[in-house]
Amino acid sequence: MRRILTLIAAAALPALTLAASATAQDSHASFFSAIFQSAPAGAPAGRPRASAIPRETVRYTGRHRAGTIIVSTKERRLYLVNGDGTAIRYGVGVGRPGFAWGGSMPITRKAEWPGWTPPPQMLKRRPDLPRHMKGGPDNPMGARALYLGSSLFRIHGSNEPETIGQAVSSGCIRMTNDDVIDLYNRVRVGTRVVVER
Report the 3 state secondary structure along the chain.
CHHHHHHHHHHHHHHHHHHHHHHHHHHHCCCCCCCEEECCCCCCCCCCCCCCCCCEEEEECCCCCCCCEEEECCCCEEEEECCCCEEEEEECEEECCCCCCCEEEEEEEEEECCCECCCHHHHHHCCCCCCCECCCCCCCCCCEEEEECCCCCEEECCCCHHHCCCEEECCCEECCHHHHHHHHHHCCCCCEEEEEC
The reply to whether 172 belongs to the active site is yes
From 28, 64, 132, 172, active-site residue: 172
The reply to whether 156 belongs to the active site is yes
Catalytic site positions: 156, 172
